[in-house]
Amino acid sequence: MSRPLVVLDCEKAALEGAPHLLELAAVRVEGGEVQETFEELVCPPVPIEPEATDIHGITEDDVRNADPAFAVLGRFRRFVGGDWMAAHNAGADASILGFEHARAALEPPPGPILCSLRLAVEFLPEAPDHKLPTLAQHLELEDAGSHRALADAVICWKVLEACIERLGGSGSLPDLLARSRNPVTIPSSLPDPARMSPRLRPLEPAIAAGAQVRLLYGEDGEVPVPLSVLPLFLFKRHKKSYLEAECLQSGLLKTYRLDRVRKVLDG
C-alpha cells in the first residue's frame, strides 16, 4: 500500500438498538508492517448484554474503570490523524462511531473507510462465506478464533493483504477504495436528526442546558405516565425518532420513542 492505513474494529455493548461503543482498536499499517496500535475499552452508559458478551467476552468487570466514549474517541482522533481507514463490514463500524461522535458532539476523522468485506467478496470468492472468522480460517491466520477488537483489526489487515496479492501486489489505496464500492466515512454515518413536532421543541434547550424535564409518555389509547428524565441525545433510526435520556427514578440510560411523548413539562 502506498500510504499509511489505519485498520480498525469496534465491539459494542448490545446487539440491537442504537449502538454503544465498548471497545475500539486499530493498527496503523505502512510498508506491509504494523507501525502502531491503538486499543481501549470503553465504559458504556448501558448494561452489556449477555448475548454481546458471548461474542466478544467483555464483561462489566472489564470496563468498570475504563473511560467513557468521548475520552476514547478524542484519543482515537489523534491516533488516526489524516490517514485513511479500513474495517470489515465498514458500514457497521462507521455507524457505531457515528453515533458516539454525535452523542459527544465531537468532530470525527474525515477520511474514507475501505471495506475489506466487499474486497474479499471480489478477490476471495472461493471462501465458504466472507465473515471475518471464516476468512481468518480460510487464510490460516493466527487468532482465527478471537473476537476482540485488536485481533479482528489485525485479521482485517491480513485480509486486505490477501486481496492485494490477488491484484498482483500492486493495489494502491485509491484503487482499493474504488473497488470497495460506495466507501463510507464516519461523517456520512452520523445518525439523522430526530423529527420534532412543536410540542417537543423544549427538549432541545433542555439538552443544551443539561436540565431535567418531565415527560407525559404513553402509546395512543393509554393513559400517559409522568416520567422525570435528564434528556441527552435526539436521533432518528429506521424511520423512527428517539430520545436518549437518564431516567431519574432508576438512574439508567433509556431510549424513548418521540411519537409516544405526549408533552414536555418543566423539571
Residue 144 has pLDDT above 60, yes or no: no
Same domain for 138 and 166?
A: yes
Contact between residue 141 and residue 31 where contact means Cβ atoms under 8 Å apart: no
Give the Cβ contact number of residue 228 at 10 Å. 15
Asked if residue 160 and residue 228 are part of one domain, the reply reads no
Residues 148 and 211 in one domain: no
Are residues 164 and 240 located together in one domain of the fold? no
What is the domain range of residue 241?
Answer: 198-266
What pLDDT, in 10s, does the model give residues 85-136?
Answer: 999 999 999 999 999 999 999 999 999 999 999 999 999 999 999 999 999 9
Residues 78 and 147 in one domain: yes
**What is the residue-averaged pLDDT of the chain?**
93
Is residue 9 domain-shared with residue 66, that is, in the same domain? yes
Count of domains forming the chain: 2
One domain for residues 168 and 234: no
2 pLDDT more than 70: no
Domain boundary among 128, 160, 189: 189
Are both 137 and 206 inside the same structural domain?
A: no
Mean pLDDT of all residues in 236-265: 96
Residues 142, 239 within the same domain = no
| CATH number of the domain where residue 74 is located | 3.30.420.10
On the question of pLDDT at 1 being above 70, the answer is no
Spacing of C-alpha 240 from chain mean position:
19
Percent of the chain whose pLDDT exceeds 90: 84
174 and 246 in a common domain: no
pLDDT confidence of residue 3: 85
Give alpha helix (H) positions in the chain: 50-56, 60-63, 69-80, 90-104, 116-123, 132-138, 149-166, 173-180, 203-209
Specify whether 251 is located in the same domain as 134: no
Count other C-beta atoms under 10 Å from residue 85's C-beta: 24
Report the predicted TM-score, pTM, of the whole model to 2 decimal places: 0.93
CA-to-CA distance for 93 and 206, rounded, in angstroms? Answer: 30
Q: What percent of the chain has pLDDT over 70?
A: 96
For residues 25 and 72, what is the distance between their CA atoms, to the nearest angstrom?
10
Are 142 and 226 members of one domain? no
Residue pair 262/218 in contact by the 8 Å Cβ criterion: yes
Q: What is the CATH number of the domain that holds 247?
A: 2.30.30
pLDDT the model gives residue 170: 63
**Which CB contacts under 8 angstroms, 24+ apart, belong to 201-206?**
202/264, 203/231, 203/234, 203/243, 203/264, 204/234, 206/231, 206/264, 206/267
Last residue of one domain, picked from the residues 189, 211, 240: 189
Using one digit for the tens of pLDDT, what is the confidence trace for 181-211? Answer: 777 999 999 999 999 999 999 999 999 999 9
Angle between helices 116-123 and 173-180 in degrees, nearest 10:
90
Among all chains, which residue has been given the C-alpha cell 437518564? 246
Residue-wise pLDDT for 37-80, tens only, equals: 999 999 999 999 999 999 999 999 999 999 999 999 999 999 99
**Cell triple for residue 232?**
441527552
Q: What is the pLDDT of residues 215-234, one digit of tens each?
A: 999 988 889 999 999 999 99
Last residue of one domain, picked from the residues 189, 218, 237: 189
Using the predicted structure, report yes or no on whether residue 255 has a pLDDT greater than 90: yes
